[in-house]
Amino acid sequence: MFRTLLSVAIAVIFAAGTALAAGDQVKGEVVKIDKAAGKITLKHGPIKKLDMDSMTMVFRVKDPTMLDKVKAGDKVTFEADRVNGAITVTALDKIK
């Protein structure tokens, strides 16, 4: 009985963590890429984590190689956070 309850508890905690992580994903569209500056302009939906409404804005990217995966016009999902005081894209995936 205890093992069953423990297994259920672990499954619930895992599912909650996955749901929270999925909640950090934001849909957007690449407007412009500036590889030299390590920046990307995204038209995006609300970023709940940062209490930010939908808009188009320029972001720094945590890893400049992210910019090699996308081009203007691509639909993407991304995560953003404050890194050293700047709002920064920390994960970026092209929607296929």
Q: Which domains does the chain have, with CATH numbers?
A: 26-94 (2.40.50.320)
Burial class (CB in 10 A: 0-12, 13-18, 19+), 90: middle
Q: pLDDT digit string (tens) for 5-61?
A: 445 445 445 544 443 445 589 999 999 999 999 999 999 999 999 999 999 999 999
The CB-side HSE value for 48 (13 A sphere, CA atoms) comes to: 8
Q: Quick one: tokens of 85?
A: 């005081």
pTM for the model: 0.76
Q: What is the spatial distance between Cα 80 and Cα 6, in angstroms, rounded to a whole number?
A: 34
Q: pLDDT digit string (tens) for 66-92?
A: 999 999 999 999 999 999 999 999 999
Amino acid 96: pLDDT: 85
CA angle 76, 27, 11 (to 5 degrees): 105
Amino acid 9: pLDDT: 44
